Amino acid sequence: MLKETRFTITSKSFVNEEEIASFGAVIDVEKNDMSFFTRQINKEACKEYRDEVRADQAEFEDFAYAVQENVKAMTGVVVEEVEPEIEPELEPITEAAE
């Protein structure tokens, strides 16, 4: 049985044929969890083209979430819900006296 199955997807942001940033996501198949990372390759260009880099990052994150959903559908991974250890104490609701 496979354990701790993870995979990484990456993409790059280009402006004027120059790579200025890269994005990545690590998807943990068993936990149905994902973490993102971003790398600025050319910090000055990232500042100058901030809107473009942010748009590329948003597009990458949308793509990564879609991949995660497809993997979840293919593997049938269901994350077990954990019951709280302490149940909240609730006061009974009483009718107000008229």
Q: What is the pLDDT of residues 41-71, one digit of tens each?
A: 999 999 999 999 999 999 999 999 999 988 8
- Domain residues for the domain of 56 are 6-75
Query: Residue 22 falls within a domain, yes or no?
Result: yes
Q: Is residue 96 part of a domain?
A: no
Q: Is residue 81 part of a domain?
A: no
pLDDT for the residue numbered 4: 76
Looking at the domain assignment, is residue 35 inside a domain? yes
Furthest C-alpha separation in the chain: 76
| Global pTM exceeds 0.75 | no
* Cα–Cα distance for residue pair 82/88, rounded to 1 Å: 15
Which tokens hold the place of 65? 């979430």
Q: Which two structure tokens, joined as six digits, stand for 45?
A: 């260009």
SS3 25: strand
pLDDT digits (tens, 9 = 90+) for 73-83: 887 765 555 45
First to last CA, the chain: 66
Total domains, the chain: 1
Euclidean distance between CA atoms 35 and 61, whole angstroms: 10
Identify whether 55 is part of a domain. yes
